Chain A
């Protein structure tokens, strides 16, 4: 478990991270979403032990990460602009990492390189940006660490590769202790892979929510009410977060359990009623709208 307590980091006049408190449970995919400059990379770099926090702490199972090789053996960091040694091949990079990480699996690296169709003896400088991203993911997975920090790693991948990597993560999570933490500015990117998503804004965590819980807690439905009185009764009975009207058709986002909402609506016998699937973006919009943030300015 990664425990973050009152974490702060400042670069000269810029407060990059401001008092973050967060817990990332093991065995789930944690997504960290935020716009450019929100503090995602800074957070991940502190979690990887690269940057020293100004205040607060970041620990794995109670052990601080910074300058702690024993803890850092359990994590692998993939930066958004991954550095490789000059004039090296993927095989040489894998050899380097295998000499540093105790559980590195060269055989896994070879298999994955084959699966992804990358030549392990070709100079990395001849790789495209996407191929370098794929290589960095392969190197990270082959490290066999408990945690894999991916800083905007998915952003450079094509849709086919994205699915392939997601399958890899899911497979590893099923077979061993593995917790990927993925930072991205694209909420839709994280939607179908993440179990928990944290929203970072101006260095602070706006909210951190398990997606299943969030989806169970907020519902979107469309209905056509018989009359305004019926509609008003519903608005008084349920916690309506947002309402959108198109003629008689009313689309509402409601906080509450599905059964409770269904029962309340059926009691009013609307002309038409349908529960719609909520996207992650809509959940966040509804959650943060309550806190007074215009989420559309925060996420894309």
Chain B
């Protein structure tokens, strides 16, 4: 059997095992985009009728908040689905029987990892793109979207997909580093929230100990060391903060954009390397690698004691 054919077979077989996340992703994207858009468009129609707003303002709002980066339900499902898809896809790492099943197969571990990774990405991306297209078409029919701005909507969708990839690869890394689904979930919590907690602690400690302390760093920069912080910074910079306009300020957000891509790629590459080094007997244990235990202990305990 050729390598490509085997990989294709792995993809096919893995898809069969991922039916409920697929259904969840379709439902989540449907409600977060299409249903949300229908509700918001009804609200816009009322405001237009009452002449409380203009079509230009609605077009900007539609671009930013409905079919764009400020769609809150979409942001929630980006993080939520990244977690669910990663944990479900890599559940075999937490179960010794499943690990034995997969690792006894004549397939390299990296290949299994890659196949599951790709399917996990597609589970979110395909429903998201379909629902995004439907949402934009709905906007087009109402005049809330202009044809000349379609590339902006496409770019916006790509940025959301990038944010999903960032969250997803971080969750996958947490799964590879641990051996139990609960610990992996906590690991995701550490990756997502330890940075913000550390930043918040630093700010509060400085404010407590120095009466004249003032911080002029933006919200995003304080909580930078986290995927959520990166996402916030990226959104803020690319939409130029509060300046509402129907455009994406790629120049301003270039550094954060590159950083997001780099972090995503790093997490993927690190997971891919570690999956080979990860012992099969780690399934069921809290941490897959002994060396991570003291690092995590120190990082978490310092925050906890300061709290």
Residues of A within 8 A of B (CB): 11, 45, 48-52, 67, 69-73, 76-77, 79, 81-83, 85-86, 92, 96, 99-102
Enumerate chain A residues within 8 angstroms of B108, measured Cβ to Cβ.
67, 69
| Nearest B residue to A97, CB-CB | B105
Q: Is the CB of A73 within 8 A of B281?
A: no
- Per the bound structure, the CA–CA distance linking A277 and B140 in Å amounts to 90
- Per the bound structure, the CA–CA distance linking A294 and B276 in Å amounts to 42
Whole-angstrom distance from the CB of A150 to the nearest CB of chain B?
A: 13
B6 within 8 A of A: yes
- Per the bound structure, the CA–CA distance linking A11 and B1 in Å amounts to 35
Residues of B within 8 A of A (CB): 1, 6, 9-10, 12-13, 16-17, 95, 97-101, 103-109, 276, 279-281
Whole-angstrom distance from the CB of A2 to the nearest CB of chain B?
A: 15
Sample (8) of A-B pairs whose CB atoms are under 8 Å apart: A48-B104, A49-B103, A67-B108, A69-B107, A72-B107, A83-B100, A99-B13, A100-B105
Q: Is the CB of B104 within 8 A of A85?
A: no
| Nearest A residue to B12, CB-CB | A99
| Nearest B residue to A101, CB-CB | B106
- Per the bound structure, the CA–CA distance linking A77 and B109 in Å amounts to 16
Q: Is the CB of B100 within 8 A of A50?
A: yes
Q: Given A67-B108, A83-B97, A100-B106, is A52 in contact with B279 using a C-beta cutoff of 8 Å? A: yes
- Per the bound structure, the CA–CA distance linking A52 and B17 in Å amounts to 27
Enumerate chain A residues within 8 angstroms of B107, measured Cβ to Cβ.
69, 72, 100
Q: Given contacts A50-B100, A51-B280, A52-B279, could you give 12 more A-B pairs where the C-beta distance is less than 8 Å?
A: A50-B99, A50-B280, A67-B276, A70-B106, A72-B105, A72-B106, A79-B97, A83-B95, A83-B97, A99-B9, A100-B1, A100-B9
| Nearest B residue to A96, CB-CB | B13
Q: Is the CB of B100 within 8 A of A77?
A: yes
Q: Is the CB of B13 within 8 A of A50?
A: no
Contact of A83 among B6, B9, B12, B101 (CB under 8 A): B101
Whole-angstrom distance from the CB of A50 to the nearest CB of chain B?
A: 4
Enumerate chain A residues within 8 angstroms of B97, measured Cβ to Cβ.
79, 81-83
Q: Is the CB of A49 within 8 A of B6?
A: no
Enumerate chain B residues within 8 angstroms of A76, measured Cβ to Cβ.
104
Q: Is the CB of A73 within 8 A of B106?
A: yes
B interface, over-half SS: helix
Whole-angstrom distance from the CB of B175 to the nearest CB of chain A?
A: 18
- Per the bound structure, the CA–CA distance linking A67 and B16 in Å amounts to 25
| Nearest B residue to A45, CB-CB | B100
Whole-angstrom distance from the CB of B233 to the nearest CB of chain A?
A: 40
- Per the bound structure, the CA–CA distance linking A285 and B108 in Å amounts to 43
- Per the bound structure, the CA–CA distance linking A77 and B6 in Å amounts to 19
| Nearest B residue to A72, CB-CB | B106
Contact of A77 among B10, B95, B104, B276 (CB under 8 A): B104
- Per the bound structure, the CA–CA distance linking A11 and B108 in Å amounts to 23
Q: Given A67-B108, A72-B106, is A100 in contact with B6 using a C-beta cutoff of 8 Å? A: yes
Enumerate chain B residues within 8 angstroms of A92, measured Cβ to Cβ.
16
- Per the bound structure, the CA–CA distance linking A96 and B101 in Å amounts to 12
Q: Is the CB of A85 within 8 A of B17?
A: yes
Q: Is the CB of A51 within 8 A of B17?
A: no
| Nearest A residue to B92, CB-CB | A83
- Per the bound structure, the CA–CA distance linking A11 and B97 in Å amounts to 17
Q: Given A67-B109, A83-B98, is A49 in contact with B279 using a C-beta cutoff of 8 Å? A: no
Q: Given A45-B100, A83-B95, A83-B98, is A51 in contact with B106 using a C-beta cutoff of 8 Å? A: no
Enumerate chain A residues within 8 angstroms of B109, measured Cβ to Cβ.
67
- Per the bound structure, the CA–CA distance linking A71 and B106 in Å amounts to 8
Whole-angstrom distance from the CB of B286 to the nearest CB of chain A?
A: 13
Enumerate chain A residues within 8 angstroms of B13, measured Cβ to Cβ.
96, 99
Contact of B281 among A11, A69, A72 (CB under 8 A): A11
Q: Is the CB of A51 within 8 A of B279?
A: yes
- Per the bound structure, the CA–CA distance linking A247 and B98 in Å amounts to 59
Enumerate chain A residues within 8 angstroms of B103, measured Cβ to Cβ.
48-50
- Per the bound structure, the CA–CA distance linking A81 and B96 in Å amounts to 10
Enumerate chain A residues within 8 angstroms of B16, measured Cβ to Cβ.
92
Q: Which of B17, B95, B103, B104 has the most CB of A within 10 A?
A: B104
Enumerate chain B residues within 8 angstroms of A52, measured Cβ to Cβ.
279-280
Enumerate chain A residues within 8 angstroms of B99, measured Cβ to Cβ.
50
- Per the bound structure, the CA–CA distance linking A132 and B279 in Å amounts to 27
Sorted nearest first, the 9 A-B pairs with minimum C-beta distance are A83-B97, A72-B106, A99-B9, A77-B104, A69-B106, A73-B106, A102-B1, A50-B103, A83-B101
Whole-angstrom distance from the CB of B128 to the nearest CB of chain A?
A: 26
- Per the bound structure, the CA–CA distance linking A73 and B237 in Å amounts to 52
- Per the bound structure, the CA–CA distance linking A77 and B97 in Å amounts to 12
Enumerate chain A residues within 8 angstroms of B12, measured Cβ to Cβ.
99
- Per the bound structure, the CA–CA distance linking A92 and B106 in Å amounts to 18
Q: Which of A51, A92, A100 has the most CB of B within 10 A?
A: A100
Enumerate chain A residues within 8 angstroms of B9, measured Cβ to Cβ.
99-100
Enumerate chain B residues within 8 angstroms of A67, measured Cβ to Cβ.
108-109, 276
- Per the bound structure, the CA–CA distance linking A45 and B99 in Å amounts to 11
